[in-house]
Structure 1
Amino acid sequence: MRNKSATVIERIFEKGLWYSRFLVILAVIPSIFASFSLFIVGTDKIMKVFIKTMSSLVAYDKNFYKYAIENIITAVDIYLIATVMIIFSLGLYELYVSKIDSAINSDNVKLLNIESLDDLKEKLAKVVLMVLIVTFFKYALHIVYKTPLELLVLAVSIFAISGALYLSHKH
């Protein structure tokens, strides 16, 4: 049989444990700020390409295409990472703090439907896979392919990426 003081202490301790879930907000708020910052950085990259495009209409620059493709791919990469941060912060908030009423009532966006940590990890893994693919192609643009073996390695790499995408969507 439990004594009354042990029950009071236990209830206070359990209540403290339960409210400790609000510590997740220490990860949610900076993640949203990081996402916002990354969207600004990505937009800055795109705007620089746009401005250079407008100026290169007057004066042709043969290195412009490489510059534009590299910066646009980098911006897409940055946007994807910003998206990871949003999914991460919204998912943590919904799992540990509270469901987001605006998201529940929204007909337009069914972004989250996260019921468990595994759901969150699955959604994050898909976006991280896309980040890795974009990063792969960004670096593949810089490689000078001199031998047939190097081209074969590129082809096998692309095939492996295709397999990873197929397996991620099949699940």
Structure 2
Amino acid sequence: MLLRNIVQKIFLGCQVSILLPVICLLLAGFTLLVYGAVQTVTTIGIALGVGNVSSKEAKIMIISFIEIIDVFLLATVFYIAALGLYELFIDNRVKVPAWLEIRSIDDLKNKLASVVVVILGVVFLGQAVRWESGREILPFGLSVALVIATLTYFLGEKTKSEQMKKLLSSKGTKNLIYSNYENQVEVANNKDQH
């Protein structure tokens, strides 16, 4: 009994230790938000101060704003990771919108993967705006597309799996099999009638 209590206290201590990465992730995310805000104000100030801009200067300004989007998205990744770890290990009663609820490590990975897809798209957009000529961007674009396709496939498979689990739990396996059998009989009868 004593050993059991000691082990439980150790696990409770380890659980509370998750607060350290949660706090660090929140601080990193907040730092990125402040940095992004400063960059936004700076870029707007420069843009307003210049007046007439050449196409090259406009391109530089567009790249600056795209990079700012990237910073804010990265801050979002840090926030989602902090929130996910907190919900999973500390307190799952945090009031968040339904789309941000995290009930498992898989939920956390899916949310992070979704944001990573958007970040990769923004990174590629920034490179495309910088692109002058030639085919140098093609390998980079293909690499980004491959990673996005892989993550999208991964997210799609997870969604299908979750839908099937919900269907099985709501109908019950026996009812699902019977319903599928009825559908097959109906299709066969329709073919016989034609």
TM-score (norm 2): 0.69
Q: CA RMSD in A?
A: 2.6
**Structure 2 residue 111 is matched with structure 1 residue 117:** no
Write the deviation string for residues 73-92 of structure 1: whole angstroms up to 9, x where unpaired.
00000001000000000000
- Aligned positions, number: 155
Does the residue aligned with 1:70 lie in a helix, a strand or coil? Answer: helix
Gaps of 5+ in 1: 1-6, 104-108
1:26 corresponds to: 20
Rg (Cα) greater in structure: 2
What is the CA–CA distance in structure 1 between the aligned matches of 2:145 and 2:2, rounded to whole Å? 62
SS at match of 2:18: helix
The reply on whether 1:127 has 2:115 as its aligned counterpart is yes
* Native 8 Å contact 2:84 2:102 kept in 1: yes
Residue among 43, 49, 54 paired with 2:48: 54
One-letter amino acid of the counterpart of residue 67, structure 1: I
Q: Where does 1:1-171 land on structure 2 (aligned, <5 Å)? A: 7-57=1-51, 60-62=52-54, 63-103=56-96, 109-146=97-134, 150=135, 153=138, 157=142, 160=146, 163=149, 167=153, 170-171=156-157
TM-score, normalised by the number of residues in structure 1: 0.77
Residues in 2 aligned to 1:16 and 1:161: alpha-carbon distance in whole angstroms: 40
Runs of at least 5 residues in structure 2 that lack an aligned partner in the other structure:
158-194
* Residues 12 and 87 (structure 1), Cα distance of their counterparts in 2 relative to 1, 3 Å cut: same
The answer to which structure, 1 or 2, has the higher relative contact order (CA under 8 A, 6+ apart) is: 1
Letter in 2 for 1:135: V
TM superposition shift of 1:36 = 0.8
Equivalent residue of 1:115, what SS?
Answer: coil
Q: CA separation in 2, counterparts of 1:17 and 1:152?
A: 50
Q: Aligned residues: percent identity?
A: 27
Change in Cα spacing, 1:93 to 1:168, as seen in structure 2 (3 Å) is: same
CA distance in 2 between counterparts of 1:43 and 1:49 reads 10
Between Structure 1 and Structure 2, the one with more helix by share is 2
Give the AA of the match of 2:98: K
SS at match of 2:133: coil
Aligned equivalents of 2:70, 2:32: Cα separation in 1: 10
Structure 2 equivalent of residue 106 of structure 1 = none
Structure 2 counterpart of 1:94, which letter?
E
